[in-house]
Chains A and B, each alone.
Chain A
Amino acid sequence: MNFVAIQMLLGDRIKYLGLVTAVAFSTFLMSHQSSIFAGVMNRTRSQILDVQDAGIWVMDPATQYFDEAKALPDQALYRVRSVEGVEWAVAMRKGTPVARAADGTFRTVILMSVDDDSLAGAPRHMLAGSLADLRQPDSLFIDRAAYYYFFPNQPFRTGRVFEINDHRVTVSGIFESSAPFTNLPIFYARYSEALKFQGRERNMMTYVLVKAKPGVDENTLCQRIARETGFHAMTTQEFGWATIDYYFKHTGIPLNFGITITVALLVGTLVAGQTFYIFTLENLKQFGALKAIGVTNWRITSMILLQAGMVGAIGYSIGIAMTAAFYEYFSKNVDLRGFFLPWQIATGTAGAVLVIIVIASFMSIRRVLVLEPAVVFRG
């Protein structure tokens, strides 16, 4: 009877296409929007995760997330260094000065600092220049997106000059960064240089980056640092999630995406469910004939589930392929880097489609099960 069920479904071309289209677009919207949402949220912690040398971030207890940090006093560094289990600790400054290129192009940039001596905290993926080039006086690294912005359509070349707060600085390296939430260019400089580039404030240190001694548990060390220094300490992962959490709770992003995703689910369910129900109603006479001929309710149920499942599987495949194609196509766009279709979202969307299909077929099955087979004799 599976053959009969499939023929019934394919026989009504228009409704079949309508059903598949509804599921496909619903799948596309849900998976696409969820992926963007996950990408946006993930971006808020990009600069935290990009610092790979240290495992622990120490900050003022008032600091809630990466982008807005209350500065630390200079002695914070020494207090952290004295904590048992700390392998090394270095000062780190994150600022947002304005950088101006020679042609006058200017933009606010995210300036991250690395340790003067060890270069701890430096970016890992160099596209031009090498890590040691950052030791040159008055030099900095800029990321690929920054290079494209300031020097569009030009091959990677170091030696270009910026002016930051009346200081002349030379680009000695170009690196790949994870895209930041704000899409600002990312610059890296040594800590002492970073201080020079910016107006003098009372406290200049934003974070202390800490590496735990081998064998020392990072979470335990975080607790010890907090206890002994009074500052707040988080592992890289914790700080990343804290930042995501902040954006989650304090911006309209989750709500807006949530609404879109919910609407996609609802519209998908309603359109697919209704079309499928109408499809079943129009075939009621056929189902009645099958029941009269001796097809059991159980077989009829499995026929309807097969029809709905087929619509779901084909619609989902088309929709998820559309999402995958979208991200594949735009993966070359520097501003959209970091956006992709995570398998968790592909799986979750499959679950949502399953819900759509179950609801859609539930109504139809109910209708057919209560159908009196005697209707076949009525005109």
Chain B
Amino acid sequence: MRNVAVSCHGITKAFDSGENQVLALRGVDWEVRFGELTLLVGPSGCGKTTLISVIAGLLDATSGELEVLGEDMRRLRGTDAVVFRRRNLGFVFQQFNLLPSLTAVENAAVPLLAARVPRRTAVARASELLAELGLGHRLNALPSKLSGGQQQRVALARALLHEPKLIVCDEPTSALDHETGHAVMELLKRVAVREDRAVIVVTHDSRVFEFADEIAEMEDGSIRSEGLEAVLEGELVERI
């Protein structure tokens, strides 16, 4: 199926912490499609961050099959994995993770700088994108001078600038107040979602469910239910 961006089969991930092993992923079967904003929800500690780290190639799965953008991730090692991320992935983090000594526009330009695009070109393209995200007036501000919502928009620009095929966001709104978080999600939905791109957003904030094209719920290391209706029903059941 051309439409599938990420496909997981029986993914497990074990962490060795001292003597005892933590099984963070216990056989994940999951598909993420292009052209959709897919939410990954579930209680804290259920393995959401671990799963997207494995999908993004930041962690190696212990077992299972994983195909991302047509690549067999088990065979992608070392520098190849790094280059794959640089070309194809964009990241948005809960804590923004901007470089504090770079200006907003320089931060947004980092993915192009990493790909050896000349600074002038990279900064020019980052400026355009930041303007599109409504930050045209704060291009040269340091992150410490920006509000949380503005910082997350810079991070969003950084995730989008090199036009990746897959964008992975871990709790992008949980460090923001409700209104700002809502605005960031709106922006994400409007700017990031494209036919040839998949967007995964990890969240436990049910107020952003309205932005989901697709939704998957995790529990205890595996996907419990998929599909908007199923998950929302579950929510409803729990609330009752």
Contact = CB atoms under 8 A, between A and B. Distances in A.
Interface of A: 1, 3-4, 7-8, 10-12, 285-286, 288-299, 372-374, 376-379
Identify the 8 closest CB pairs spanning chains A and B, nearest first: A11-B101, A294-B86, A374-B58, A294-B85, A289-B97, A374-B53, A7-B101, A377-B49
A10 B91 CA distance: 26
A293 to B, nearest CB: 6
B94 A291 contact: no
A12 B142 CA distance: 13
A11 to B, nearest CB: 2
- Chain A binding surface SS class: helix
25 contacts: A3-B106, A3-B113, A7-B106, A11-B101, A11-B102, A12-B101, A285-B97, A289-B91, A289-B97, A291-B82, A292-B58, A293-B91, A294-B85, A294-B86, A294-B87, A294-B111, A296-B82, A296-B83, A297-B82, A298-B79, A372-B58, A374-B58, A376-B58, A376-B97, A378-B49
Given A285-B97, A293-B86, A294-B83, A377 B53 contact: yes
Interface string B101-115: 110001000110111
Interface of B: 49, 52-53, 56, 58-59, 79, 82-87, 89, 91, 93-95, 97, 99-102, 106, 110-111, 113-115, 119, 158, 170
Contact of B59 (A10, A298, A374): A374
B220 to A, nearest CB: 19
Contacts of A374: 53, 58-59
Given A374-B59, A377-B52, A292 B114 contact: no
Contacts of B94: 377, 379
B101 A294 contact: no
B100 A11 contact: yes
B85 A293 contact: yes
A294 B99 contact: no
B53 A295 contact: no
A376 B91 contact: yes
Contacts of A290: 110, 114
A379 B102 contact: no
B91 A3 contact: no
Max chain A C-beta neighbours (<10 A), residue from B84, B87, B101: B101
Given A4-B102, A286-B99, A377-B170, A292 B83 contact: no
A3 B99 contact: no
B205 to A, nearest CB: 16
Contacts of B93: 289, 376-377
B59 A294 contact: no
A297 B80 CA distance: 12
A219 B17 CA distance: 74
Given A292-B58, A372-B59, A376-B97, A4 B85 contact: no
B110 A293 contact: yes
A376 B58 CA distance: 10
A4 B49 CA distance: 28
A74 B84 CA distance: 91
Contacts of A378: 49
B102 A7 contact: yes
A298 B170 CA distance: 27
A288 B53 CA distance: 13
A8 B99 contact: yes
B102 A296 contact: no
A373 B58 contact: yes
B99 A296 contact: no
A190 B194 CA distance: 102
Nearest to B85: A294
A292 B56 contact: yes
B182 to A, nearest CB: 22
A368 to B, nearest CB: 14
A377 B200 CA distance: 14
A304 to B, nearest CB: 15
Contact of B113 (A4, A11, A288, A298): A4
B99 A4 contact: yes
A374 B48 CA distance: 13
Nearest to A294: B86
Contacts of A372: 58-59
A14 to B, nearest CB: 13
Contacts of A286: 97, 99-100
